[in-house]
Amino acid sequence: MTPRSAPRYETWTLQPDREPDAEPVPYAMQCAVDEETSPTNEDCAEPQDWVPRHCGQNPCHHTHRKITTRPWRAWQQT
């Protein structure tokens, strides 16, 4: 007979990582028509400035989405 391990159920907490050493939060804008994406930047202004230029080159591309990659952190509650 082989011993079996019993699962341990722990309480975990998940939240955005706002620690001083957290990864930066990069932003980008993406055209919903052709899925072309702006350069990524930690300052949202540069990706947003890309949108009017993209619209000028593609007059019927009016719908865009903001892409944010936010680091999250999980830890076990004791």
Let me know if residue 66 belongs to a domain.
yes
Let me know if residue 35 belongs to a domain.
yes
Distance CA 53, CA 31 (A): 11
* pTM across the whole model: 0.75
Let me know if residue 43 belongs to a domain.
yes
Which domain, by its residues, includes 43? 22-71
Let me know if residue 6 belongs to a domain.
no
- 22, 23, 38 from 17: Cα distances, Å: 6, 8, 25
Number of domains composing the chain? 1
Q: What are 23-75's pLDDT values in tens digits?
A: 999 999 999 999 999 999 999 999 999 999 999 999 999 999 999 999 999 98
Q: Provide φ and ψ at 56, rounded to 5°.
A: -65, -35
Let me know if residue 28 belongs to a domain.
yes
